[in-house]
Amino acid sequence: RVEGDEFVLVADIARVELASVLAQAIIAAMARPLVVAGRELTLGASIGIALFPKDGERGDDLLRCAVSAMHKARAEGGGRSHLYATDMDSRALERLEMEGELRRAIGNGELLLHYQPQLRLRTGRIVGAEALVRWQHPTRGLVPPATFIPLAEDTGLIMPLGAWVLRQACLQNKAWQDAGLARIRVAVNLSARQFESQDMLALVAAALKESGLDPACLELELTESAVMKDAEAFIRTTRQFKARSVSLSIDDFGTGFSSLSYLRRFEFNHLKIDQSFIQDINRDPDNAMIALAVISLAHNLRMSVIAEGVESVAQLAFLRARGCDEMQGDLFSRPLPAAEFAALLGSGRALELPADPALPARTLLLVDDEAGILASLQRLFRREGYTVLAASNGAEALDLLAMHVVQVIISDAHLPVMDGSELLAKVRALYPDTVRMMLSGYTDLQAVTRAVNSGELYQFITKPWNDVKLVEAVRAGFRYHESRRAATHGVIQQFVPDGIQAVP
Q: Which residues form the interface with ligand C2E (CB under 6 A)?
A: 116, 132-133, 144-146, 149, 162, 165, 189-191, 221, 251-252, 275, 308-311, 328-330, 335
Q: How many Cβ atoms are within 10 Å of 299's Cβ, its own excluded? A: 15
Among candidate residues 120, 125, 130, the one with its CA nearest the CA of residue 181: 125
Encoded one letter per residue, x for contact with Mg ion by CB under 5 A and - for no contact, window 204-223 reads -----------------x--
Q: What is the Cα–Cα distance from 219 to 216, expressed in whole angstroms? A: 8
Q: Which is nearer to ligand C2E, 275 or 363 (by Cβ)?
A: 275
In angstroms, what is the minimal distance from the CB of 63 to ligand C2E? 26
In angstroms, what is the minimal distance from the CB of 217 to Mg ion? 17
Helix (H, G, I), strand (E, B) or coil at 475: helix
Stretch binding Mg ion (CB under 5 A), from 135-143, 243-251, 278-286, 381-389: 243-251
End-to-end CA gap in the chain: 82
Task: Determine which residue in the list 219, 252, 368, 399 makes contact with Mg ion, applying CB under 5 A.
Answer: 252
Which of ligand C2E, Mg ion, none does residue 439 bind to, with CB < 5 to 8 Å depending on kind?
A: none
Q: What is the Cα–Cα distance from 401 to 426, expressed in whole angstroms? A: 11
Q: Which is nearer to Mg ion, 132 or 374 (by Cβ)?
A: 132
In angstroms, what is the minimal distance from the CB of 481 to ligand C2E? 34
Q: Which is nearer to Mg ion, 101 or 252 (by Cβ)?
A: 252
Helix (H, G, I), strand (E, B) or coil at 56: coil
Which of Mg ion, ligand C2E, none does residue 149 bind to, with CB < 5 to 8 Å depending on kind?
A: ligand C2E
Instruction: List strands edge to edge, sheet with 363-367.
Output: 387-391, 363-367, 408-412, 435-440, 459-462
Q: Which is nearer to ligand C2E, 221 or 326 (by Cβ)?
A: 221
Asked if 456 touches Mg ion (CB under 5 A), the answer is no
Stretch binding Mg ion (CB under 5 A), from 244-252, 364-372, 426-434, 442-450: 244-252
Rg (alpha carbons) of the chain, rounded to whole number: 30
Asked if residues 166 and 204 have their Cβ atoms less than 8 Å apart, the reply is yes
Task: Determine which residue in the list 172, 173, 189, 237 makes contact with Mg ion, applying CB under 5 A.
Answer: 189
How does DSSP assign 433-448, residue by residue? TSEEEEEE-GGGHHHH
In angstroms, what is the minimal distance from the CB of 272 to Mg ion? 5
CB-count burial class (<10 Å; 0-12, 13-18, 19+) for 28: exposed
Q: Which is nearer to ligand C2E, 320 or 428 (by Cβ)?
A: 320
Asked if residues 353 and 124 have their Cβ atoms less than 8 Å apart, the reply is yes
Q: How many Cβ atoms are within 10 Å of 121's Cβ, its own excluded? A: 22
Residues that bind Mg ion (CB under 5 A): 189, 221, 251-252, 308
